């Protein structure tokens, strides 16, 4: 049994997303847990997830989990707000290993830090429509007022690299004015793309609004969960060991270029697989 635990401690963490947004979660895991290995899958052939149905998202997520299981991962992070909202409950019942999404950790922090009880959530149409953040926040703070705002143009702007651009400023101002007028004091960046435009969102919202980054909160929660199951890797992988592996369902070269602009640990390659086989 001790040998089995030791093997599991050295196993990688599986992280998946609809595309590149989940790299912000992977980056936080790398920062918080430098000893851990990661297998990342981005479903670039089938994005965006935000506009698809619950059944479709759940089917996609099951396929990805089956792929990650072939990589002998010890835990799975659903690094996609839409998949966390639609598929996580089903996945939790179907697999034995620890699995977490990005919604609960962000909702928990927002519910705890708000002073006036007005919490904004920005995300994809799927995430906002699911009301998942509202549900989790009300479990902790029933009196909170949660205002969701779908911001569908943020993802393509981020993926085009327009993080600091007048176009992004203009779109952000249009999206966020309603939340400013309502007087929220806490804003959840409810899509894993959004931390990349955090400075723009923060500037528009102003100093009195606390921004909650679920990518960071998820990495902290994952560390706690792994420690609870005695699964933290006690030592760094050996020199030359392939610490981080990246897989996509399409466009490996484009993914690699984008990933290297986010993660400064050197992404040597990204491999394309046929996720429909799983």
Binding residues for substrate: 17-18, 49-50, 81-82, 192-193
The pairing of beta strand 99-101 with beta strand 38-42: unpaired
Residues 6+ apart with CB under 8 A from 230: 5, 9
Residue 51 preceded by cis peptide, ω within 30? no
134 vs 78: CA distance, rounded Å: 19
Q: 3-state SS of the chain: helix, strand, coil percent to 5?
A: 50, 15, 35
**DSSP, res 29:** H
Q: Give just the sign of the alpha carbon dihedral 231, 20, 135, 69.
A: negative
| Locus of tokens 């984008």 | 258
CB of 30 within 8 A of CB of 253?
no
Q: What separation in angstroms does the CA of 232 have from each of 73, 93, 264?
A: 13, 23, 23
Two tokens at 176? 């966020």
CA-based nearest residue to 272, from 11, 45, 15: 45
Q: Per DSSP, what are the bridge partners of residue 15?
A: 40, 77
Catalytic residues: 80, 191
CB of 63 within 8 A of CB of 276?
yes
12 vs 222: CA distance, rounded Å: 13
The pairing of beta strand 99-101 with beta strand 75-78: parallel
């Amino acid at each position: 049994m001790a040998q089995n635990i030791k093997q599991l401690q050295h196993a990688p963490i599986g992280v998946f997303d609809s595309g590149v947004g989940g790299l912000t979660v992977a980056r936080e895991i790398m920062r918080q847990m430098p000893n851990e290995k990661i297998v990342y899958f981005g479903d670039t052939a089938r994005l965006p997830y935000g506009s698809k149905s619950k059944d479709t998202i759940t089917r996609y997520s099951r396929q990805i989990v089956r792929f990650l299981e072939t990589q002998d991962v010890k835990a799975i992070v659903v690094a996609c707000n839409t998949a966390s909202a639609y598929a996580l409950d089903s996945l939790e019942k179907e697999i034995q290993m620890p699995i977490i999404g990005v919604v609960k950790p962000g909702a928990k922090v927002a519910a705890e830090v708000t002073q006036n009880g007005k919490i904004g959530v920005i995300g994809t149409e799927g995430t906002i429509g699911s009301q998942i953040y509202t549900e989790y926040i009300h479990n902790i703070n029933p009196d909170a007022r949660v205002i969701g705002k779908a911001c569908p143009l943020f993802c393509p702007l981020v993926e085009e690299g327009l993080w600091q651009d007048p176009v992004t400023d203009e779109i952000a101002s249009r999206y966020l004015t309603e939340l400013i007028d309502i007087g929220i004091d806490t804003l959840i960046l409810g899509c894993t793309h959004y931390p990349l435009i955090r400075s723009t969102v923060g500037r528009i919202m102003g100093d009195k609004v606390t921004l909650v980054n679920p990518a960071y909160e998820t990495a902290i929660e994952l560390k706690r969960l792994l420690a609870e199951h005695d699964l933290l890797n006690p030592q760094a992988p050996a020199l030359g060991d392939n610490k981080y592996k990246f897989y996509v369902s399409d466009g490996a070269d484009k993914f690699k270029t984008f990933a290297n602009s986010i993660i400064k640990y050197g992404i040597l390659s990204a491999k394309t697989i046929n996720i429909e086989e799983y």
